[in-house]
Amino acid sequence: MSGDFDLVILDIGLPGMNGFEVLEQMRASGSALPVVVLTARDSVTDTVSALDGGADDYIAKPFRFAELLARVRLRLRQGGEDQTPRTDLLEVGRVSLDLRTRQARSGGTDIDLSAREFKLAEVFMLNAGQVLSREQLLSHVWGYDFDPGSNVVDVYVGYLRRKVGNDTISTVRGVGYRFESAR
């Protein structure tokens, strides 16, 4: 890479040389350019291969454009090649998520999060301090439109609160939830 780019959005299903090979060559050449993999391949094996191969993030299609933009902003905030090595760590208050290893900590203690809980925490932390509606959370975490009769968001917010601390996620009555950044 010439250094003229701030970030790469890479598809795995490229003609000729697949995205895994492109990523391998980038990292072998010493490039620390942030790479977000955006692909229709959504298996755990592909996700792990991409992340272990040096990708900074992995988004499976179909995806929400707002989520892609948020992830791009996150990667750009985490620094470029002229800064100290980037970290894939989200930290808000006492909660931290390592996006590469998928490990979570609250108050310095490791916590076990299911895949959905981890994704919910990630969405909250990327939007810390902002109120997110149930519809937004359902769209970002579960990837489908809101069913007004579903309480899946409320159930998972409850699970997450028990693991990261009840005071970390506030209910904004009639609107949604807010991940508190100052706690």
* Per-residue pLDDT at 164: 92
- Domain boundaries defined on the chain: 1-86, 88-183
Q: Name the DSSP letter for residue 99.
A: T
DSSP-derived secondary structure for 154-166: HHHHHHHHHHH-G
Instruction: Please give the CATH number for the structural domain made up of 88-183.
Output: 1.10.10.10
> What CA–CA distances, in Å, run from 64 to 2, 103, 143?
30, 24, 8
Whether 134 contacts 153, CB under 8 Å? yes
If the chain, 183 residues long, is cut into consecutive pieces of 10 residues, what is the mean pLDDT of each piece? 72 85 84 85 81 84 82 74 56 87 87 91 89 86 68 92 91 92 61
Type of residue numbered 29 = S
Nearest alpha-carbon partner for 168 in 183, 158, 153? 183
* Per-residue pLDDT at 79: 58
The CATH number for 1-86, chosen from 3.40.50.2300, 3.30.300.30, 3.40.50.700, 3.30.2130.10, is: 3.40.50.2300
> What CA–CA distances, in Å, run from 129 to 80, 92, 104, 113?
26, 10, 19, 21
Burial degree of 111 (CB within 10 A; 0-12, 13-18, 19+): buried
Q: Is the peptide bond before 85 cis (omega within 30 degrees of 0)?
A: no
- Show the beta-strand stretches assigned E in the chain: 8-10, 35-39, 57-60, 89-92, 95-98, 103-106, 109-111, 131-133, 169-172, 176-179
Burial per residue of 118-148, b for 16 or more beta-carbon CB atoms within 10 angstroms, e otherwise: bbbbbbbbbbbeeebebebbbbbbbeeebee
